[in-house]
Amino acid sequence: MIIVHVVEPFATGVNTFIHELVFGMPNDEHIIIHGERDDNRNIEELKEEYHNKARFIKWEHAHREINIKQDIKALIALNKILKNIPFNILHLHSSKAGVIGGMIGFYKSLKCVVYTPNAAAFLRTDIPDNQIKRYERIEKFFSLFKTKIISSSRSEYDAYAQLKIKTKIIQNGVNIQTNNQQVKNNNVFNIVTCGKITTQKDPLFFNEIASFFKDDPSINFTWIGDGKLKSNLKNVTITGWSSKEKVYQYLSEADLYISTSLWEGLPFAGIEAMAFGLPLLLRQCVGNKDLINSGLNGYSFDSKVKAIEQIEYLKENKEHLLTLGENSKKMYHRHYENYRCAKEYKSLYDAICRKLKNGKV
């Protein structure tokens, strides 16, 4: 089977997702058509992590925001690429690829298109209501195409259902070997987050929480990643872009994982933290809420005061902290490891191909 993945941008969580699919389906051929952004990890470094298990094609003119002129150029460029490669499945990742790839699929009457938004654009909380309504209309229009829309969490599924858009749930997952645990520094309570420093992750709010503890040398806040909004982080250690191995080292040395995200699909960074036995402290939002079983593997918060209270409590209650971490790891093994996500997508791809073969789509 030949699977074409279309993505803008090819970085952070979407890269983790596609990596999971490629390595979880080693007997299939994967072609990744990707956009590039200057503020993401170096594309050549990302490619090296695939160990020649995927072929890469650059998608010219692809960009994040709506711009009719640029989007038309991106559509023409993507259509030209797809004309020249055979494929069995066209998998569109994130909203921009979903809309442009979906339009091509519609006009070509393709019945082998899968779309995974992984934090749909209409869930954004950093834009005015009229722009959210525009994204909702786009999604409703897109849902009329012969496309299988896949929600990565129950809360994302529910958000689509409120728009009367039918989706299928396949939870995100990531397969990680965590045998080489690092020795933690018992003199410092290490709190980490991971991801691109963007509005979605709300670095200003993260910094407000960290600033409360700025005079306490026994607490350290680390942001694993980089981004244009890093100047908002004044009391935080910023690692810059790191290899997966280095990210995992930071996680293994941490005591607590925190997320101040405004919206998510089902965050890969949180799943990775669970794999390393970290308790979760997550802001209440779509996607985040699906990883938390309050009091079992962590807690959620909806204000700076609540987040600070929970950090102070967990720092002083190490036994409970360890119990939460142990439960996080158990939940990871139960729900997210062993290429569970990739295997479910493989079953979906196979079902689509069978129906096409039998003329039932």
Give pLDDT tens digits along the chain (361 positions).
Answer: 999 999 987 878 899 999 999 999 999 999 999 988 877 788 888 999 999 999 999 999 888 777 889 999 999 999 999 999 999 999 999 989 999 999 999 999 999 999 999 999 999 998 999 999 999 998 998 888 889 999 999 999 999 999 999 999 999 999 998 765 666 777 899 999 999 999 999 999 999 999 999 999 999 999 999 999 999 999 899 999 998 999 999 999 999 999 999 999 999 999 999 999 999 999 999 999 999 999 999 999 999 999 999 999 999 999 999 999 999 999 999 999 999 999 999 999 999 999 998 876 6
| Distance from C-alpha of 195 to C-alpha of 227, rounded to nearest angstrom | 9
95 in Cβ contact with 135 (< 8 Å): yes
- Residue 168, beta-bridge partner list: 150
Ordered by where they begin, the domains of the chain are 2-174+339-357 (3.40.50.2000), 189-335 (3.40.50.2000)
E strand or H helix at 326: helix 318-335
Instruction: Tell me how far apart the terminal alpha carbons of the chain are, to the nearest angstrom.
Output: 18
How many Cβ atoms from other residues are within 10 Å of residue 159's Cβ?
22
Tokens of 114: 């899968």
How many Cβ atoms from other residues are within 10 Å of residue 183's Cβ?
7
